[in-house]
């Protein structure tokens, strides 16, 4: 396994981040344990989750599974850099639809953190991420709440997810005025099919030393081989089918290129994200041990200048961003 620093910090994380969103809804608790154990066998030390994963309001099912896995001992917690997220509504039972059970306010930050700590059976969170921007809350309120949690030893680093470039700038400028570290990571949707973050988000993150953790690097599996391989025969939802048809010509060229390289499309897609200087670790979301093992090949694939040029032809980059209008 290869490691890198998370953004501008000294924290060392694996170049692949284990996404846990499937744990509970699609992968049983027993199989989730096997996937996490196998991840450690491969020396993957970076795990990502969120309090809402499991998709039963207020339950935090995925975090509970991780907590039960930590509780087995064997230095599992000590070997893992755990990143979780807050924002979604965690109100349940009589608190359903009650105010202050979601978003990013001082009150919900405190409650959400306590809930995640309890479910994951740990006394600290390595990277505590805001799942979305909350425009109504001033940054002084947010950073004060984060600083309290840091002083209590309950969180170590702050991260964001789905932020615009100017949100990253605004957040870190506000943190700097408080002599706080601010954001060190940003989770963004990024793949060959979704390159929009190259316009503003990626340059802002690079300038501020914020490591990007791409989610959906395979574009929901569409870059995994939907035209030629057996995976292409699996059932897709209507939205995925529409995307495949919209980009069929590109996908055919993409899969032909991967075939000429002698590589699986999914591995090349991951390798491409890993080749970007602003990327810390793409999130892989295996449902099975086989899918986890297969992801490791991406670490060995070299994206040559020739391959990169061809990829830019198939999936055009935002070449003139982010300063195409500046003069």
Residues 6+ apart with CB under 8 A from 224: 218, 231, 264, 265, 266, 269
Tell me the per-residue pLDDT of 70-113, one tens digit each, with 9 for 90 and over: 999 999 999 999 999 999 999 988 888 889 999 999 999 999 99
pLDDT score of 118 more than 60: yes
With cut-offs at 50, 70 and 90, classify the pLDDT of residue 235. low
* pLDDT, position 97: 81
With cut-offs at 50, 70 and 90, classify the pLDDT of residue 134. very high
Q: What percent of the chain has pLDDT over 70?
A: 98
Question: How far, in Å, are 107, 138, 139, 158, 281 from residue 172 at the CA level?
Answer: 21, 13, 9, 11, 21
Distance of alpha carbon 296 from the chain centroid: 17
pLDDT score of 319 more than 80: no
**Cα(84)–Cα(51) distance, integer angstroms:** 7
53 labelled catalytic: yes
Tell me the per-residue pLDDT of 265-287, one tens digit each, with 9 for 90 and over: 999 999 999 999 999 999 999 99
How many Cα atoms within 13 Å fall on the side-chain side of residue 25? 12
With cut-offs at 50, 70 and 90, classify the pLDDT of residue 41. very high
pLDDT score of 59 more than 90: yes
| Helix count and strand count (H, E) for the chain | 12, 10
* pLDDT, position 313: 97
pLDDT score of 232 more than 70: no
* pLDDT, position 323: 79
Q: pLDDT averaged over the chain? A: 95
* pLDDT, position 324: 76
* Segment (H or E) for 215: strand 211-215
* pLDDT, position 321: 76
The catalytic position among 3, 53, 146, 208 is 53
How many Cα atoms within 13 Å fall on the side-chain side of residue 158? 22
pLDDT score of 236 more than 80: no
* pLDDT, position 145: 98
Structural domains for the chain: 3-224+266-304 (3.20.20.100)
Tell me the per-residue pLDDT of 168-207, one tens digit each, with 9 for 90 and over: 999 999 999 999 999 999 999 999 999 999 999 999 999 9
Distance of alpha carbon 177 from the chain centroid: 28
- 8-state DSSP, 317: -
């Amino acid at each position: 396994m290869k490691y890198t620093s998370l953004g501008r910090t000294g924290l060392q994380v694996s170049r692949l981040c284990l996404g846990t969103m499937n744990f509970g809804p699609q992968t049983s608790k027993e199989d989730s344990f096997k996937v996490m154990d196998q991840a450690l066998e491969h020396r993957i030390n970076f795990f990502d989750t969120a309090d809402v994963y499991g998709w039963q309001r207020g339950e935090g099912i995925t975090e509970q599974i991780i907590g039960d896995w930590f509780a087995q001992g064997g230095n599992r917690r000590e070997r893992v850099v755990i990143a979780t997220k807050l924002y979604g509504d965690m109100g349940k039972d009589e608190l359903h639809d009650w105010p202050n059970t979601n978003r990013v306010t001082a009150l919900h930050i405190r409650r959400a953190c306590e809930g995640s700590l309890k479910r994951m059976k740990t006394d600290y969170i390595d990277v505590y991420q805001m799942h979305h921007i909350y425009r109504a809350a001033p940054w002084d309120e947010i950073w004060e709440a984060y600083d309290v949690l840091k002083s209590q030893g309950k969180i170590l680093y702050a991260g964001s997810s789905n932020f615009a470039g100017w949100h990253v700038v605004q957040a870190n400028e506000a943190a700097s005025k408080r002599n706080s570290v601010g954001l060190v990571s940003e989770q963004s949707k990024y793949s060959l099919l979704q390159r929009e973050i190259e316009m503003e988000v990626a340059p802002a993150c690079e300038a501020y030393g914020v490591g990007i953790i791409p989610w959906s690097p395979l574009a929901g599996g569409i870059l995994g081989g939907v035209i030629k391989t057996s995976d292409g025969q699996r059932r897709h939802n209507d939205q995925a089918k529409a995307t495949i048809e919209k980009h069929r010509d590109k996908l055919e060229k993409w899969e032909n290129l991967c075939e000429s390289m002698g590589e699986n499309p999914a591995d090349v897609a991951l390798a491409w994200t890993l080749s970007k200087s602003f990327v810390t670790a793409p999130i892989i979301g295996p449902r099975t041990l086989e899918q986890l093992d297969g992801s490791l090949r991406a670490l060995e694939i070299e994206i040559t200048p020739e391959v990169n040029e061809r990829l830019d032809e198939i999936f055009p980059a935002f070449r003139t961003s982010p300063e195409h209008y500046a003069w």
